[in-house]
Chain A
Amino acid sequence: MNIAVLIKMVPDTESKLEVNDGALNDQNFKYMVNPYDEFAVEQAVQFKEAEGGKVTLLSLFSENNSIDTDLRKMLAIGADEIVVLRQEGYRGDKPLANAKVLSDAIKELDVDLVLCGIQGIDYYQAATGTMVAQMLGMPNISGVTSLEYNSGTLKAKRQIEGGLQTVETSTPAVITCQKDMTKVRFPALKDIMMSKRKPFENKSVDSIDSNDALTSESSLPPARDGGEMIEGEDAEEKINKLIEKLKMEAKVI
């Protein structure tokens, strides 16, 4: 079974966020693999281990930043090759344009399954994977919490509000992976070493026009006020004061 996994490189959650005149300053960002996509890679490697085949990682990213170290870890987990599509002016918040480039790249591969995270933790749009499915004309199951494969049939479980849904489809298909779909392994040292010899290709792709919705302004959440310490003689008095405040000031009880 040949599998393509789409990987989005997103700013490290601990990167310094700065907004200048309503625009996000991404100059000092460090990038990491989108955590949802790590579940997709792990799932793909598990399928490969069971069924044979190849796992190809596809990532669309801007031209300049170096992202090799973090991406190579996905090879250490067990993926076979990486193709990074380098695009001038790439933006993470243009799912339609990005899905077009990615689906064109997938068409060149002969794959039975496309896996990716449900969403990127940069813009949380949860759109690209589903759009890729549409463009490839493949069925799509989104937000999958567990996935089984049995001779051409995929059985997916989806956690939905108040219940669990089981969905089946035949391959090829596009699956977007929800958090904790599987436990991502920590590669052993020999796998880390071997990953250095696996193919890692950078390929230029053209920028394309799209009618994606555009971010018009970015801003940081307002700074939180300091909390209030409730003073009192003993625990009982403090609790009474707290209840009073929850009732009268916060009006939550």
Chain B
Amino acid sequence: MTPFHDYFGISWYVFLLIWSAIAIGAHVYQVGFIVKLIRLGKDDDRFNSWNQRMKEFLTDWLGQRKVVEDKVAGYAHALIFWGFLMLVSDVIDLGTGGLFAEFLGIIYLENIWNLIVDIGYLMAGIGLLVALYRRLVIRPEKLKDSSIEGVMILFAILGIVITAFIVEAGYMLGEESHYNYWEPVGVLFAKLMEDIDASTLQTIVDVSYWLHMILIGGFLIEIPQTKHSHLIGTIPNVMFQDHEKMGTMIPLQVDEDDLAVKTDDLDFENLTLGVNKFEDFTWRQLSDGWACTACARCQDVCPAYNSGKELNPMQIIMDVKNYGKEHGNLLLAGEAPDETIVDRFSPEAIWACTTCYACVNACPVHIEHVPKLTDTRRHLVMEASDFPEELQNLFNNLERNSNPWGLGAHTRADWAEGLDLKIGEPAEYLFYVGCAGSFDERNKNVSRATAKLLKEAGVDFSIMGEMEMCNGDPARRAGNEFMFQMMAEMNVDNMNSLGTLKVITACPHCFHTIGKEYEKYGGKYEVYHHSQILNELKQKEKLKIKDYGDKVTFHDPCYLGRIGGETEAPREAIGGDLIEMERSREKSFCCGGGGARIWMEEDADKRVNEIRAKEAVNTGADCVAVGCPFCMTMMSDGLKTLGEEQRTVKDISEIMLENLEE
């Protein structure tokens, strides 16, 4: 028996047409509104490398590559997702009163189609039960504040699944039952229902059918309004994911070759400095808002959020969407709401980011959280001139002496005294020391250790001496893009004048900025982290390093591991009895010093470095190995606050030098 008959003397089809018109109309209208909002954003040309994009789309969207990294929620989601892809055509069949299946019968596809749809419903059903179990029984900490909406929607979708099975079963039952084993779950339902009398059965089938259609229509109306907008929003998000190297920021202005326009040639009349208005974002930054599923994976890994600061990366993404929704009519009318984007994000949140990219890395749908924060910083610094006071010192120091501490630029190479290094001479490698390695007492020792090892192995290298400047990372991450650009241009000039091709640095921030960001400012170099070169020398036995049994743990610097993509060379270089922290490699937890945070005040009860230092202590290692001068400072301070000073913090190069065979 089927539900396709007259109701109250009117054909079922009339009711269905009316309801479809309402549901589809409401859906299309709302999606149209969102599309118009997203199109307010600035251009960001990502309509290229289609082959790569298709591959990524198939693995990330269809294959749910990052979704399933969370085993429970991820696989539950994947089951629901794949299930719905398999069953979605059933709505056409149910909407045409079975004509679709009949058509498939003509081309001999009906049976296989029935099977696929049936399995699809089953997979979705299992996924939904797991998801409900997770929300109602397991109740993970991060879901405690989430609304009842999630549970309601899960029940509604489960309703869609169950009613589908009932209607399927109804098809099989009648005066003469004939079980269609191409619909195995349907058969199961039919067997359960076969003893029910015909008129009750008819009612059950009718109610199920209309419930099914009402739920689907309701879902269509609901999708654009809630986090279920991700059903649509993730498609452009995943398809147009960032193809720039992770962590690289966009220049103020670019020319037709995608290179930065020189500071002298910047067109200030047509330049938006950072973001404070909805339409200052690019369309792709705006689409993030509707791709977010509120899975809170970004929140789980955020050092700012986990140390109790104002920032929650997920909230930033919600803010973009909610701001657009709340002020949508004004924005589309070209007017400016009183509330700005900075107001919505809050300056405290904006300044709390360490730009560690853990959020971006954790997001299954390629949301880009960090640029939203660094872009608003640009606005606060260059346009509004409203930023933490400590940064004014930083900027003045960088401007006058090209280092964050403001120490005399002429003392930059003092650490190298007595080492007899080439200074400012052409050589195979340029050892770019960086500010911390040049001016910070503790880190000068790292520079010395690195230089000694390189000399020992007979590497031909030179340092720049007083000619070296800060690479500009602190200014850039703190929003002073203009200052960064001036520094980058000068540095590139200096480095090119030395004929630099290969660079070694002990600082992951220099490694990242010079290696990945200078390209747009005319500086193309092969840049190596010292651990990469030193490890190679060790493997080739140009450096003979003794085996040693000390218990050591390695703290991956964000800009070397997760962002830089190098996690193995430091480990091989260190050797020893290496014990991993719970979070390591690309999942490493920031020390709290990145994003110019090390130059800003941090409340004593909200320190990121203490969280990480605790994780290091938990390994029981006697030595925390680091590969970044800021990690050095933050981890040392963290251990000190915990009263764990007996554990040492050492750079990779220092450990190697200690174990160098005479």
Chain A residues with a Cβ under 8 A of chain B: 12, 14-16, 28, 30, 32, 185-190, 192-193
B395 contacts A186, CB within 8 Å? yes
Establish whether residues A185 and B401, one from each chain, have CB atoms under 8 Å apart when the complex forms: no
Identify 15 new A-B residue pairs, CB closer than 8 A, beyond the known A12-B400, A15-B408, A192-B482: A14-B400, A14-B406, A14-B407, A14-B409, A14-B411, A186-B385, A186-B392, A186-B395, A188-B382, A188-B383, A188-B385, A189-B268, A189-B382, A189-B383, A190-B273
A143 to chain B, nearest CB (A): 24
In the assembled complex, 16 residue pairs joining A and B whose CB atoms fall closer than 8 Å, in A order, are A12-B408, A14-B406, A14-B408, A15-B408, A15-B410, A16-B410, A30-B400, A186-B385, A186-B387, A186-B392, A188-B383, A188-B385, A189-B382, A189-B383, A189-B482, A190-B273
**CB-defined contacts of B383 to chain A, threshold 8 Å:** 188-190
Q: Report the separation of the CA atoms of residues A12 and B392 in the bound assembly, to the nearest whole angstrom.
A: 17
Closest CB in chain B relative to A228 CB, distance in Å: 19
Chain B contact residues, CB within 8 Å of chain A: 268, 273, 381-385, 387, 392, 395, 400-401, 406-411, 482
Interface of B is mostly: helix
Chain A residue nearest to B480 (CB atoms) is: A189
A32 touches B400 (CB 8 A): yes
A186 to B401, CA, bound (A): 17
Complex Cα–Cα for A186 and B399 (A):
13
Nearest CB of B to A234, in Å? 15
Residue of B nearest to A14 (CB): B408
Q: Which residues of A have CB within 8 Å of B381?
A: 186
> Across the interface, do A187 and B400 meet the contact criterion of CB distance under 8 Å?
no
How many residue pairs at the A-B interface have CB separations less than 8 Å? Answer: 39
A186 proximity list for chain B (CB < 8 A): 381, 385, 387, 392, 395
Q: How far is the CA of A69 from the CA of B407 in the complex (A)?
A: 19
Inter-chain contacts of B387 with A (CB < 8 A): 186
In the assembled complex, which residues on chain B have CB atoms less than 8 Å from the CB atom of A12? 400-401, 408
B268 / chain A contacts, CB cutoff of 8 Å: 189-190, 193
Please, how many angstroms separate the alpha-carbon atoms of A208 and B557 in the complex?
61
- The interface residues of chain A lying within 8 Å CB-to-CB of B409 are 14
Nearest CB in chain B: distance from A124 CB, A: 20
Q: Which residue of A lies closest to B382 (CB)?
A: A189
**Contact A185 B385, CB 8 Å, known A14-B408, A15-B408, A16-B408:** yes
Chain A residues with Cβ below 8 Å from B406 are 14
Per the bound structure, the CA–CA distance linking A15 and B411 in Å amounts to 10
Contacts A12-B400, A14-B401, A32-B400 hold; do A189 and B273 have CB atoms under 8 A apart? yes
Q: Bound state CA distance, A193 and B271, in angstroms?
A: 12
CA distance A14 to B384 in the complex (A): 30
CA distance A127 to B46 in the complex (A): 64
Closest residue to B383 on the A side, CB-wise?
A188
Residues of A within 8 A of B410 (CB): 14-16, 28
- List chain A residues, Cβ under 8 A from B384: 188
A16 to B410 alpha-carbon distance, docked (Å)? 7
* Contacting residues, chain A, for B273 (C-beta < 8 A): 189-190
Once the chains are docked, how many angstroms separate the CA of A190 from the CA of B400?
20
List, in ascending order, chain A residues with CB within 8 A of B400's CB. 12, 14, 30, 32
Q: How far is the CA of A192 from the CA of B395 in the complex (A)?
A: 14
Q: Specify the chain B residue showing the minimal Cβ separation from A184.
A: B392
| Interchain CA distance A30-B401 in the complex, whole Å | 10
A193 CA / B381 CA spacing, docked (Å): 14
Closest chain A residue to B406, Cβ basis:
A14
Residues of B within 8 A of A187 (CB): 385
**Complex CA–CA separation, A16 to B381 (angstroms):** 31
**Chain A nearest Cβ from B280, distance in angstroms:** 15
Of all A-B residue pairs in the complex, the 5 with the closest CB atoms, nearest first, are A14-B408, A189-B382, A188-B385, A16-B410, A186-B392
What residue in chain A is nearest B397 (Cβ atoms)? A14
Minimum CB–CB distance for A80 against chain B, Å: 19
Q: Which residues of A contact B408 (CB under 8 A)?
A: 12, 14-16
Note all chain B residues with C-beta closer than 8 A to A189. Answer: 268, 273, 382-383, 482
**Cβ distance A24 to chain B, nearest Cβ, rounded Å:** 16
For the complex, what is the distance from the CA of A220 to the CA of B136, rounded to whole Å?
Answer: 75
Most chain-B CB neighbours within 10 Å: which of A185, A186, A193?
A186
A145 to B278, CA, bound (A): 42
A192 to B410, CA, bound (A): 27
Give A195 Cβ to nearest chain B Cβ, in Å.
12
Shortest distance from the beta carbon of B333 to any chain A beta carbon, whole Å: 27
User: For the complex, what is the distance from the CA of A227 to the CA of B385, rounded to whole Å?
Assistant: 43
Bound CA–CA A192/B385 (angstroms): 11
**What's the nearest-Cβ distance from chain B to residue A142, in Å?**
26
* Chain B proximity of A51: nearest CB distance (Å): 22
**In the bound complex, CA of A157 to CA of B590 (Å):** 47
Interface-centre pick from A14, A15, A192 (highest chain B CB count, 10 A): A14
A28 to B411, CA, bound (A): 13
Residues of A within 8 A of B407 (CB): 14
Using CB atoms, name the residue of chain B closest to A70. B400
Instruction: Give Cα distance in the complex from A41 to B410, angstroms.
Output: 29
| Distance, CA A187 to CA B273, complexed state (A) | 14
CB proximity of A224 to chain B, nearest CB, Å:
16
CB distance from B270 to the nearest CB of A (A): 13
Q: In this complex, what residue of A is CB-closest to B401? A: A14
Q: Which A residue's beta carbon lies closest to that of B384?
A: A188
Cα–Cα distance between A14 and B412 once the two chains are bound (Å): 12
Q: In the complex, how many angstroms separate the beta carbon of B391 from the nearest chain A beta carbon?
A: 8
Q: How far is the CB of B94 from chain A (nearest CB, A)?
A: 60
Give the chain A neighbours of B382 by CB distance below 8 A.
188-189
CB of B80, distance to nearest CB on chain A (Å): 49
